[in-house]
Amino acid sequence: MLSDPTPSTHADLWSGLISDDSDAEVGVLGVPFDGAVSFRRGTAFAPAKLRELSCHLASCNEEGRPLNLKVRDYGDISPDLEWSRYFQAVEDRAVEVLRHPLALFLGGDHSVPIPLMRAFNQVVGGPYGIVHFDAHPDLADVYEGHRWSHACTERRALELSGMQPEHLVFIGLRSFMREEWDFLKTHPEITYFTARDCYRQGIEAIAKEVVQTLQDVEAVYFTLDIDGLDPAYAPGTGTPEGGGLSTRDLLELVREVFRGLPVRAMDVVEVAPPLDCADITSVAALKVIYEVLGVIQEKQRYKD
């Protein structure tokens, strides 16, 4: 997993896959914002932690296949005390990063995908799909007085012009506010798989159903809240919920989904390094990211 502990330099970032080429297969953008969390903070430290650890990882997927694609890292969008101005800056920069075959966004809390999905809507148009891995559906209309809370992400996504409820798929759910439960019951077009569904049906069957559900869309945005994992695999997060998926399950899920669907953007949110133990949560997030890089490399190579 971790290779030799050489000091982190720019050249080592993303296991040395870092590149300034505008034709890099992957564009990375950090959004170190945790102003919208409802419980414990700390996700603002995630982009720096993920980059730091990436310098020590072997550049291969989990089966040993060498990674040789290029990763262009756009750095972070620095914090701004004015929330709306910050989200506008995130949206504008994300449009640029979405020029790459895969845009990889590092949060930040789960409010960060609100401007990221707006950028996706601008670039892709529609119809597109959203795959949302999480313990929580984030379907509150307003939470703690805010429409941009990390509990409102998918309500805001459903307001975008290219987004239809039948193209929204949740995986890993196991905690619902009453309002969210009511919303899911009155919108049966939305597909969701609870963590229990994943346990009982097996992750492979669930992954196939996800791919089947989004068969007709032109592009997919994958939003990955690390608290979809069980706290045993991801203790470093602000709103942990027991009974979640394993890192193993998540790796299988992303492989199937990224192979079977035109995923153009992915975010990893709610990783909170100050709440973590021995970087377990960050390392799990990176494992998933590297597996995704492997699939993107495979798809780019065989696309012609």
Binding region for Mn ion (CB under 5 A)? 134-136, 225, 227
Sign of CA dihedral 188, 189, 193, 197: positive
Smallest gap from residue 58 Cβ to Mn ion (A): 30
In whole angstroms, how close is the CB of 136 to Mn ion at the nearest point? 4
Sign of the CA dihedral running 208, 210, 211, 214: positive
CA atoms of 92 and 32, how far apart (whole Å): 16
Q: How far is the CB of 13 from Mn ion (least distance, A)?
A: 28
Strand pairing report for 168-173 and 128-133 = parallel
Write down the least CB distance from residue 270 to Mn ion, Å. 6
Contacts of 253 (CB under 8 A, 6+ apart): 133, 171, 203, 206, 207, 210, 245
Closest alpha carbon to 2 in 295, 294, 292, 279: 279
- Toward Mn ion, which CB reaches closer, 91 or 134? 134
**Least separation, in Å, of the C-beta of 223 and Mn ion?**
10
Q: What is the largest CA-CA distance in the chain?
A: 54
Among 43, 42, 52, CA closest to 73: 52
Instruction: Report the nearest approach of Mn ion to the CB of residue 258 (Å).
Output: 21
Nearer to Mn ion, 13 or 206 (CB): 206
Smaller CB separation from Mn ion, 134 or 279? 134
**How far apart (Å, rounded) are the C-alpha atoms in residues 112 and 58?**
29
Q: Given the complex with Mn ion, which of 25 and 270 has the nearer CB atom?
A: 270
Question: Which lies closer to Mn ion via its Cβ, residue 34 or residue 227?
Answer: 227
Of 74 and 176, nearer to Mn ion (C-beta) is 176
Based on its alpha-carbon atoms, the radius of gyration of the chain, rounded to whole angstroms, reads 18
What is the CA 80 to chain-centroid distance, rounded?
Answer: 22
d(CA 170, CA 155): 13
Smallest distance from the beta carbon of 241 to Mn ion, in angstroms?
A: 8
Residue with tokens 């080592």: 12
Nearer to Mn ion, 56 or 174 (CB): 174
**Preceding amide of 108 cis, omega within 30:** yes
Closer residue to Mn ion, CB minimum distance, 76 or 225? 225
CA distances from 87 to 36, 90, 115, 189 (A): 12, 5, 6, 29
Minimum CB separation of residue 228 from Mn ion in Å reads 7
